[in-house]
Structure 1
Amino acid sequence: MTNPRAERVKAVRALASRSVRRRSGTFLVEGPQAVREAVGPGAPRVHDVYLTPDAVRRHPEIVEGAHQVGARVRTGTPEVLEAMSPDAQGVVAVVDQVRADLDDVLAARPRLVAVLAHVRDPGNAGTVLRAADAAGAGAVVLTASSVDVHNPKAVRSTAGSLFHLPVVAGPELPEVVARLRAAGLTVLAADGSAPHDLDDLLDVAGAAPAGVPDLAAPTAWVFGNEAWGLREEDLALADAAVRVPLRGRAESLNLATAAAVCLYASGRAQR
């Protein structure tokens, strides 16, 4: 492929639009790391993988993986890949959207789940998903008011973790909380002014007194909007609210950092 203005190139570039993704049921995966994970075992169907000649030489495992999953491999000039995506790094793929069902997630009896409520920033959402994967979470849930996880920036921020664990999108927060609690998970809300200190909970994990959340138990963490956190009505849905202690002079932590700290605390306690 040599023409950056070809219709196929425009069609791939158009996947940056949510409406186009919704109509096609596919999304764009950019960069060698993410595409490598996309052609790995257990990932959704990959339709096409586009690489520059240099990327074909540098990443033979991507080409091999694409052939193994039945994807079409196409070579394009650097100008073509740049026209498809400014973040291509010589490699992009068109992949079926990631869809998981909450029933299936709960049937697997997860011990750690991350719930994103009203999270609008795609970079933050993708980074939380990546942290949840690294901490050993069983699933991530994005409520109806959260960003589309197939947003290009969100996909890039997951660094391939989007293909490692179930991601549920679309349900309302009250339904999610009720379903998680019914499945035996304690629902904790992350909030900067919460009464429970995360470090204190770690100290008593596995032997928490009555009325104190036990981080060693199966847990779902609810994380709120980047700017205003969780609304009062959302906090009221949780079994307890927990704050990350701030030892220095920082006023607060950003969403992704706070989420990583909370998820790793649960992962450590559950070990």
Structure 2
Amino acid sequence: MSRRSVRTERRLFLADGPKAVEGALASALVEEIFATEAAAEQYAQILGSAEVAIVEPRAIEGLSDSVSPAGLVAVCRFFDIPTARIADDTPGPRLIAICADVRDPGNAGTVIRCADAAGADAVILAGDAVDLYNPKTIRASVGSAFNLPIAIERDVESAIAAARASGLQVLAADMDGEDLFSADDLLRRPTAWLFGNEAWGLPQTLRDASDHVVSIPIFGRAESLNLSTAAAVCLYATARSQRG
């Protein structure tokens, strides 16, 4: 299951490390758990009464892509939902994140984590996006991938249409837009944030498909913010306005 094609065919993935395994167990997604003897003892509270296969450290190293494996890996079932179910699973969504063509697993996992922390209702990985079940994506989410609905949508415009069908405005996070910090009236509305690719941002077609383009002001000399940082700022600004 180290390859995407194998994961997709079997609809199984590896949750690597204690946070990922804990989230998978809480979501009842676990098929098998493998652990070293030391890890089984160290993470006994997480594992509870779950059945664990004790294996040698070398076996864990073969399953894990981490530089320093924690000694704990679970085989889990896929858990993504159809995009159309977002409104059904989260009645009256107020805040979601759409990642359009986001290809770095660390960024995707961190956006999921930020969305979870900001109280978002869902995340959509859209377009030519990184695999949700890439071990690095799951690990970067630090368990948050199991905490909120996540959809995988091949067509970004279909993701935007689904957001609108759920009663959400679509705000594109990009340069040369409205000032985020002067947009409280806008942010109070139910919102889907559209975040673009790490290298080239959002194409003009997606900017045009959004209701508003919103930018984060840069007060210092930095040229820009990276994707996950920008997502955190936008999601938290919206959560503050909606909850204020």
Question: Percent identity, aligned pairs only?
Answer: 45
Equivalent residue in structure 2 for 1:262, among 212, 234, 238: 234
Q: Tell me the SS of whatever aligns to 2:202.
A: coil
1:242 match: 214
The answer to whether the 8 A contact 1:55-1:90 is kept is yes
Matched, 1:63 2:47: yes
Matched, 1:126 2:70: no
1:30 match: 16
- How many pairs does the alignment contain? 239
2:152 maps to a residue whose letter is: A
The answer to whether the 8 A contact 1:49-1:91 is kept is yes
The answer to whether the 8 A contact 1:52-1:91 is kept is yes
Q: CA deviation at 1:124?
A: 0.6
2:182 maps to a residue whose letter is: D
Matched, 1:100 2:73: no
1:49 match: 33
Q: CA deviation at 1:259?
A: 0.4
Q: CA deviation at 1:158?
A: 0.6
For structure 1, list consecutive stretches of 5 or more residues without a partner in the other structure.
1-14, 209-213
Looking at structure 1, the residues matched to 194 and 154 of structure 2 have their Cα atoms a distance apart, in angstroms, of 14
The answer to whether the 8 A contact 2:11-2:78 is kept is yes
- The higher radius of gyration belongs to 1
1:81 maps to a residue whose letter is: I
Q: CA deviation at 1:20?
A: 0.8
1:148 maps to a residue whose letter is: D
1:85 match: 64
Q: CA deviation at 1:104?
A: 2.2
Matched, 1:164 2:147: yes
Q: Tell me the SS of whatever aligns to 1:192.
A: strand
Instruction: Give every structure 1 segment of 4 or more consecutive aligned residues whose post-TM-superposition deviation is greater than 4 Å.
Output: none
Q: CA deviation at 1:63?
A: 2.2
The answer to whether the 8 A contact 2:100-2:194 is kept is yes
Looking at structure 2, the residues matched to 145 and 246 of structure 1 have their Cα atoms a distance apart, in angstroms, of 29
Looking at structure 2, the residues matched to 189 and 139 of structure 1 have their Cα atoms a distance apart, in angstroms, of 17
1:3 match: none
1:175 match: 158
The answer to whether the 8 A contact 2:65-2:135 is kept is no
Q: Tell me the SS of whatever aligns to 1:16.
A: coil
1:45 maps to a residue whose letter is: L
Cα distance per residue 1:209-231 (max 9 Å; x no partner): xxxxx101110000000000000
Q: TM-score, normalised by structure 2?
A: 0.94
Looking at structure 2, the residues matched to 59 and 120 of structure 1 have their Cα atoms a distance apart, in angstroms, of 32
Greater share of strand residues, 1 or 2? 2
1:101 maps to a residue whose letter is: P
Looking at structure 2, the residues matched to 115 and 230 of structure 1 have their Cα atoms a distance apart, in angstroms, of 12
**1:141-220 → structure 2 map (5 Å cutoff):** 141-194=124-177, 196-201=178-183, 205=184, 208=185, 214-220=186-192
Taking only aligned residues, the RMSD between alpha carbons, in angstroms, comes to: 1.3
The answer to whether the 8 A contact 1:44-1:98 is kept is no
Looking at structure 2, the residues matched to 173 and 44 of structure 1 have their Cα atoms a distance apart, in angstroms, of 30
2:4 match: 18
Q: TM-score, normalised by structure 1?
A: 0.85
Cα distance per residue 1:88-129 (max 9 Å; x no partner): 311000000122122321122210000010111111111101
Q: Tell me the SS of whatever aligns to 1:150.
A: coil
The answer to whether the 8 A contact 1:122-1:154 is kept is yes
For structure 2, list consecutive stretches of 5 or more residues without a partner in the other structure.
none
Looking at structure 2, the residues matched to 197 and 86 of structure 1 have their Cα atoms a distance apart, in angstroms, of 41
Equivalent residue in structure 2 for 1:226, among 198, 201, 208: 198
